[in-house]
A and B are shown apart, each in its own frame.
Chain A
Amino acid sequence: MLRRLILGRLVDLAFVLVCVSIVVFAMIRLIPGDAVAIMLGANTEVTPEKVAALRAQIGLDQPMAVQYWHWIAKAVQGDLGTSLWTGKPVAAEIAAHVWPTLQLTMLALVLGAGLAVPAGCLMARLRGRGADAAMRVVTVAGLTIPSFWLGIVMILALATLAPSLQLLGYVPFADDPLGNLARLALPATALGLPILANLSRLVRSAMLDALGQDYIRTARAKGVPERGIVYRHALRNALIPFVTSVGIMTGYLLGGAIVVEQVFAIPGLGRLILGAIAERNYPLLQATILVVTLGFVVVNFCVDLLYLAIDPRVRA
């Protein structure tokens, strides 16, 4: 039963990946202005022969289905091709950009999801009081403020309040662990705050839902202290929607990372994707999106597995 469940999920995962690979492949080619146009740029001298030669070199002269087949056949063997511009293997480009993004999203997730549980529980316990209302207003603000704006404001504030702190850019953790964390603190906060706002509201309502259940009344009746009721009995049930949302949030995080990396000049996957779109770097873009998608579906696969741990009923 369990094995079938996991197998089914794995099939879903493969299906999603194939669909995404097709959509991305087609989409980047359907945008007007192909790689050759961008490569040659406006106002350079171009002969039709040169354009044709470049197109053939990239393989754009072939039908799209043939191009896709060539690409996917190599990709499943682990060969993601080479970047059109730098000539570097795409896998190496992705490897060089993946760590900043992973670090940034993990920090933001830890910050956002980690604080959301106590914040949500607190709001549920304070329900109806002024403090609850105030916190809810703050979370709505958190939901509506975009990360990139928050990021710019934080940079400006830092420059005004503490101009001697020079924390722009990125240094690898291995080179300078403290400098690395100091530089990631602001972007992780900018990225994590909307998640904190979103998830804490979710925890609050799930918590209130759970607190209204019969077993809570029973627990109260047998004299379990309020703290125990909230954190031992109700929280576990309230966590299921929370865990689902965390899985979906990783998608949001990767999207948000694109703009936050842009603002804070962090050399991550988001910058790689934006650059690849602008220069129509087909192999690089296809592979990067595929890797990001893989990350997203794997996280959600893990979330599904987590249900099994949290809720025994799913196993039945």
Chain B
Amino acid sequence: MARRGLRTLLLSGLFAAALAGAATAQVLEVAVDASPVGLDPHRATAFSTFQIINGTIYEGLTAIDKDLRVQPGLAASWTIAPDGKTYTFKLRPGMTFHDGSKVEAADVVATIHRVLSKEIASPLASRLAALDTATAPDAATVVLHLKEPSAPLLVSIATIAIVPRSMETEKEALQRAPIGTGPFKFKEWQANGFVALEKNPHYWRAGAPKLDGVKFNIVPESATRQVGISSGQYSMLPNIDAATALQLKGKPGVKLAETLELAYSFVAVNTSRPPFDNAKVREAVNYALNRQEIIAAALFGAGVPAGPLSPALKDWATPTSAFPCYKYDPAKAQALLKEAGHTAPVAISINVLPRQDIRDIAQVVQAQLNKAGFKVELKNQELGQFIQDWRNSNFDMFASANAGSPDPDDYFYRTFRTGGSTNVFKYSNPEIDGLLDTARTMQDAAQRRAAYDKAQRILACDGPVMHIAYGQLFTALRTNVQGFEIIANRSLATLADTTAK
């Protein structure tokens, strides 16, 4: 009898210890919905990877702060030559990589060569398109020579993670075992289970990080994630949508951080074939859309009507009140369709990105367009099919969402310039081309702002993309988590200053 009692005691003790084990070390338990596609910052550019590595494991020469402005990163300072073609960066002293090697200018140069190399085939290469040469005159100085002035350069290089020079030609190693300079270093990746990071004790910024580690648990089912944060097993659900946030609102022990998203939802049209080759029909779509109603119906009211640039970009965005076609007016839409020569309802189909909020938005768009002289068929597609049709410009209209960028050139040039690399709409407008070509080389901020203001006014009503909404972005946290700041580009870089007591 006594023996049995002892065994029960021992077992329950073990059980309790197993449950309590996680609480002793200060490891932040984060639940995310998808596995990273790899951990190489130059090859894996999917969002599932970005939120785990950006600002936690890896850092760039510059950094983007919570107001989406450029700050010093690994470079403590920089100077720009008067012609705008030479940038000289001074690295901070005494920095090391997670493998113990020193961070020197040669590592930065090797990183840039790695991003541009054919073998690595990095999707980030185009961000360095303006670059001519990169040199390291001494161990603490990096000089970038450009072919032509590039205003967005400082923003572009924030996303180029600096890696050790030994990785320059190494193709697979970083995918599984990343080596960066950030506040956390890689510890373990259990495929489909979790990615665990631990404190980098040699981090260059004094007093950071405060946590002993961060564990990204991969939990695909939304209901499971919600139960996990309600019960306290997880302490953070980063970058969740309004629907999930609403369900967690008011749960004891849970708080929400929120910000206006840089990412936007939109519908876009093919300007290379009827009916949307006609600018009047594109304008009609804008008059037919009631953006407030879409936000109320599909985004639970959490969002603002979208112009071409997010109001989160305080320095750049032109307010939507400046766009005449943003006034909801279905009669005007029908009149425009008549002017364009359409007497019967205009039959079109919409390819829909397989994501719940986009599906919801597409349904409201369908109803609104049907009221204004269109006849809309929705095609709910599987992701592979959607991407294929997108790439081949095989659509009348599609509904989707894009991550935004802190600099307007990064979005506008490749999307709206004639022949731009993601201009799948085949949009071509000489006036826009001229504006975008000159704006990217302008050194004067006010001049540049004026050029993009003009571009936004044209794109809003004539362009191939009807921007719908910038949603509200949420991160759910346990109330004991302090110091975390949500950033509109979905980076979790502020984990460096987060505590969980």
Query: Which A residues contact B (CB, under 8 angstroms)?
Result: 31-34, 37-38, 40-47, 50, 53-54, 85-88, 93, 96-97, 152, 155-156, 158-159, 163-166, 168-170, 176, 178-179, 182, 262-265, 267-268, 271-272, 275, 278-280
Contact = CB atoms under 8 A, between A and B. Distances in A.
B2 interface: no
B224 A155 contact: yes
A159 B193 CA distance: 21
Chain B interface SS verdict (over half): mixed
Interface string B106-141: 000000000000100101001000000000000000
B444 interface: no
B221 A262 contact: yes
Interface size class of B (residues with CB under 8 A): 35 or more
A33 B388 contact: yes
Contact of A163 (B35, B38, B231, B234): B231
Contacts of A32: 382, 384-385, 388
A28 to B, nearest CB: 10
A168 B227 contact: yes
Contacts of B46: 41
Nearest to A159: B227
B38 A85 contact: yes
Contact of A87 (B175, B234, B422): B175
A262 B220 CA distance: 6
B383 A45 contact: no
Nearest to B398: A42
Contact of A86 (B175, B233, B390): B175
27 contacts: A31-B384, A32-B382, A33-B383, A33-B387, A34-B384, A41-B45, A42-B387, A44-B422, A46-B421, A53-B118, A53-B121, A85-B37, A85-B44, A86-B191, A88-B176, A158-B227, A163-B231, A164-B231, A165-B231, A166-B19, A166-B228, A168-B227, A169-B217, A262-B221, A265-B217, A265-B221, A267-B191
Contacts, number: 147
B123 A280 contact: no
Contacts of A182: 15, 18
A9 B387 CA distance: 44
A97 B382 CA distance: 26
B50 to A, nearest CB: 12
Given A53-B121, A86-B191, A275-B192, 4 more contacts: A37-B384, A53-B118, A156-B227, A164-B231
Contacts of A34: 384, 388
Contacts of A278: 383
B385 A96 contact: no
Nearest to B191: A96
A32 B390 CA distance: 12
Interface of B: 11, 14-15, 18-19, 22, 35, 37-38, 44-46, 118, 121, 123, 126, 171-172, 175-176, 190-194, 217-221, 223-224, 227-228, 230-234, 353, 382-388, 390-391, 400, 402-403, 414, 421-422
Contact of A93 (B191, B391, B400): B191
A261 B123 CA distance: 33
A166 B217 contact: no
B386 A265 contact: no
A33 B386 contact: yes
B18 A179 contact: yes
* Among B44, B46, B224, residue most surrounded by chain A Cβ atoms (within 10 Å): B224
A179 B414 CA distance: 51
Nearest to A50: B121
A43 B153 CA distance: 20
Given A86-B176, A96-B191, A271-B192, A42 B386 contact: yes
Closest 7 CB pairs of A and B: A33-B384, A267-B192, A166-B233, A87-B172, A267-B193, A45-B421, A179-B18
Given A33-B382, A43-B422, A156-B227, A87 B191 contact: no
B53 to A, nearest CB: 14
A158 B221 CA distance: 16
Contact of A169 (B171, B193, B422): B193
A90 to B, nearest CB: 12
A166 B118 CA distance: 47
A159 B230 contact: yes
Contact of A272 (B191, B234, B391): B191
Interface centre among A93, A169, A279 (most CB of B within 10 A): A169
B136 to A, nearest CB: 28
B284 to A, nearest CB: 25
B19 A165 contact: yes
Nearest to A279: B37
A144 B224 CA distance: 23
A299 B18 CA distance: 35
Contact of B223 (A45, A155, A279): A155
Contact of A178 (B18, B22, B232, B234): B18
A50 B119 CA distance: 11
B252 to A, nearest CB: 10
A164 B232 CA distance: 8
Contacts of A152: 221, 223-224
Contacts of A169: 193-194, 217, 219, 233
Given A45-B123, A86-B38, A272 B192 contact: yes
A176 B18 CA distance: 7
Given A38-B387, A265-B224, A267-B193, A45 B422 contact: yes
B192 A44 contact: no
A64 to B, nearest CB: 17
Contact of B191 (A53, A54, A97, A168): A97
Most interface-central of B230, B232, B383 (chain A CB within 10 A): B383
**A45, A179, A280 interface centre (most CB from chain B within 10 Å):** A45
Nearest to A47: B421
Given A33-B384, A33-B385, A155-B227, A44 B123 contact: yes
Contacts of A179: 15, 18-19
A302 B172 CA distance: 41
Given A169-B193, A170-B193, A178 B11 contact: yes
A97 B35 CA distance: 14
Nearest to A259: B221
A34 B22 CA distance: 41
Nearest to A169: B217
Contact of B414 (A45, A93, A166, A262): A45
Given A86-B175, A179-B18, A43 B402 contact: yes
Given A45-B421, A97-B192, A267-B191, A168 B228 contact: yes
Contacts of B230: 159, 163
Contact of A40 (B19, B35, B38, B123): B123
A166 B353 contact: no
A42 B390 contact: yes
Q: Output the residue of B194, B391, B414 with the most chain A CB within 10 A.
A: B391
Contacts of B176: 86-88
A53 B386 CA distance: 22
A43 B390 CA distance: 9
Contacts of B223: 152, 155-156, 263
Nearest to A171: B18
Contacts of A267: 190-193, 218
A53 B35 CA distance: 26
Nearest to B12: A178
